[in-house]
Amino acid sequence: MSSALLGSNRVSEAEVINVPDVPFTRTFHPVHHRDLIRVVKEGIQAVNLDITRAEYVLAQNNQRMFAVYDLSYSNGEMCWSLGVRNSLNKSMSIGICAGTRVFVCENLSFSGEFLAFRRHTAGLDIDELAFIAFKSVKRMVPLLKAFQAWHEGLKGYKLTEADAKILMVEIMTNVLPPSKFHQFRGLFGNVYDDSLWGFHEACTDVLKDANLLVLPQKNKLLNDIINRYIGARDEQPSALGEFYERRAALYR
């Protein structure tokens, strides 16, 4: 199955549920995707939330699964989302991370930090898995609140032209391929405003075409870049920032 684009590796829940079981070994007891889906859904219901939308991706011959659940908690502009990962081939532990989806543009973003709540070890039965999933979803609620607050807080940071150029260099080095520059530039400042919120939304808009499996990692890199900028806002400008400021001064 192709993993190049989000549109080409999306699958239905039925396809995920029907992935063949992987035999247990003495030390490796893989939790099937279907079992994880069931207990995560139960955990979401147990914290009085509902799933309003579900998306699934399979990769590596169906051994890796990533799910996105949009939740019923929203502020009218965005809703909470959960990213859930699993593997049947020892490539990663079960994990869950916080996310948000902006309604108007359908942009999806994640904190990128996974709460890995269980390794695939022997001795895990479905009741224990269900309890672990419930505790994990419950722990995720304050993380969702914090990530939403961070996301909304980006609106309070207006970007100068020089700062925007510095951040563009950062994301083209670490988050987006240079081939996406014109797409990003057309969104930032035109479709979205010139705040950090607008910058973040332009980037996540471009990332909508990315493989869903790598989206949390890309989001983490993007969020780290933005957080470094916020942390250094009152410090001396970098050499690159000084270059852009001096060049801009020549044309005033």
pLDDT in tens, the chain (252 residues): 333 333 447 899 999 999 998 887 777 778 899 999 999 999 999 999 999 999 999 998 899 999 999 999 999 999 999 999 999 987 888 899 999 999 999 999 999 999 988 665 556 678 888 998 999 999 999 999 999 999 999 999 999 999 999 999 999 988 999 999 999 999 998 999 999 999 999 999 999 878 888 899 999 999 999 999 988 875 655 555 555 556 556 655
* 76, part of any domain: yes
Query: Is the CB of residue 160 less than 8 Å from the CB of residue 168?
Result: no
The answer on 109 and 226 residing in a single domain is no
d(Cα 159, Cα 190) in Å, to the nearest integer? 14
Range of the domain at 20: 6-153
Residues 167, 79 share a domain: no
| Claim to verify: residue 24 and residue 127 sit in the same structural domain | yes
Residue at 10 is within a domain: yes
Looking at 97, 121, 153, the residue that finishes a domain is: 153
Q: How much is the CA Rg of the chain, to the nearest whole Å?
A: 20
Same domain for 148 and 53: yes
Q: 126 and 164 share a domain?
A: no
Identify whether residues 91 and 185 lie together within a single domain. Answer: no
Q: What pTM does this model have?
A: 0.86
Co-location of 148 and 169 in the same domain: no
Domain final position from 153, 180, 208: 153
Contact status, residue 75 vs residue 87, Cβ threshold 8 Å: no
Please check whether residue 18 lies inside any domain of the structure.
yes
Q: Which of these three, 136, 153, 170, is where a domain ends?
A: 153
Asked if residue 91 belongs to a domain, the reply is yes
64 and 142 assigned to the same domain: yes
Task: Supply the DSSP symbol for 195.
Answer: B
Same domain? 125 vs 166? no
Task: With respect to residue 229, please indicate whether it lies within any of the assigned structural domains.
Answer: yes
CA distances from 242 to 145, 165, 235 (A): 36, 11, 12
Map residue 39 onto helix, strand or coil.
helix
Residue 1 lies in a domain: no
Give a yes or no: residue 86 inside a domain: yes
Give the chain's domain count: 2
CB contact set of 213 (below 8 Å; sequence gap of 6+): 3, 9, 57, 59, 64, 66, 85
Q: Is residue 173 part of a domain?
A: yes
The reply to whether 28 and 117 lie within a common domain is: yes
Which of 244, 235, 227, 225 has the alpha carbon at shortest distance from 167? 225
Beta strands in 3-87 (DSSP E): 10-11, 51-59, 64-74, 78-87
Please report which residue ranges of the chain form alpha helices under DSSP H: 6-9, 13-17, 33-46, 126-153, 161-174, 181-187, 196-206, 215-232, 239-250
Whether residues 121 and 45 share a domain: the answer is yes
Given phi > 0 = left and psi -120 to 50 = alpha, else beta, which region is 48?
left
Residues 45 and 128 occupy one common structural domain: yes
